[in-house]
C-alpha cells in the first residue's frame, strides 16, 4: 500500500486523479468511504476524472458509460467491460492504495462488436 493523499484532501462526493506506481488511478470519496479504480473507461480509454460522480457511479465524459466505483462493474453502455478496482485503506490520516496486479486497460473497440 502506498500513501496517496491525506484524508482532508478529498471532500465527500468528490473524485480526483492520481498516479500510484505509474498507474493512473481515480480516487473517489462517497459517504466517508474511499474507493480507487483505474482512471480509464473500458470503452474508449477516456480519463474518467473528467466525468461526473453521482453516488457510487462514475460517468465517463466521452460517451456517458457508467461504472460502479465499489467493484468496477459496468452499469451502462456503450462500455461493456468492467474497470479494475484497487484496495484502499485509511491509516494515520492518509489514504493508502495498492495497485499490485494492475492491468493495462484494453484497447478501445469501435465499430461492430463480434
Q: 14 in helix, strand or coil?
A: strand
Q: Which of 13, 10, 8, 109 is nearest to 63 (CA)?
A: 109
CA-CA distances (angstroms) from residue 13 to 10, 35, 55? 9, 11, 7
Find the mean pLDDT for residues 34-46: 94
pLDDT(106) > 80: no
Please report where in the chains the cell 491525506 appears, as a residue.
6
| pTM of the entire predicted model | 0.88
The domain made up of 2-97 has a fold known as Rieske Iron-sulfur Protein (2.102.10)
Average of per-residue pLDDT values in the chain:
91
Kindly report the number of other CB atoms within 10 A of residue 74's CB atom.
Answer: 18
Q: In angstroms, rounded to a whole number, what is the distance separating the alpha carbons of residues 98 and 56?
A: 20
pLDDT(108) > 70: no
Q: In angstroms, rounded to a whole number, what is the distance separating the alpha carbons of residues 97 and 87?
A: 6
Amino acid at each position: 500500500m502506498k500513501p496517496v493523499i491525506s484524508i482532508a484532501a478529498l471532500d465527500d462526493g468528490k473524485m480526483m486523479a492520481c498516479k500510484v506506481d505509474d498507474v493512473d488511478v481515480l480516487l473517489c470519496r462517497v459517504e466517508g468511504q474511499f474507493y480507487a479504480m483505474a482512471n480509464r473507461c473500458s470503452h474508449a480509454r477516456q480519463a474518467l476524472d473528467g466525468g461526473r460522480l453521482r453516488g457510487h457511479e462514475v460517468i465517463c465524459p466521452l460517451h456517458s458509460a457508467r461504472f460502479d466505483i465499489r467493484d468496477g462493474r459496468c452499469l451502462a453502455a456503450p462500455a461493456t467491460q468492467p474497470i479494475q478496482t484497487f484496495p484502499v485503506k485509511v491509516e494515520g490520516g492518509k489514504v493508502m492504495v495498492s495497485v499490485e496486479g494492475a492491468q493495462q486497460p484494453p484497447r478501445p473497440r469501435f465499430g461492430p462488436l463480434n
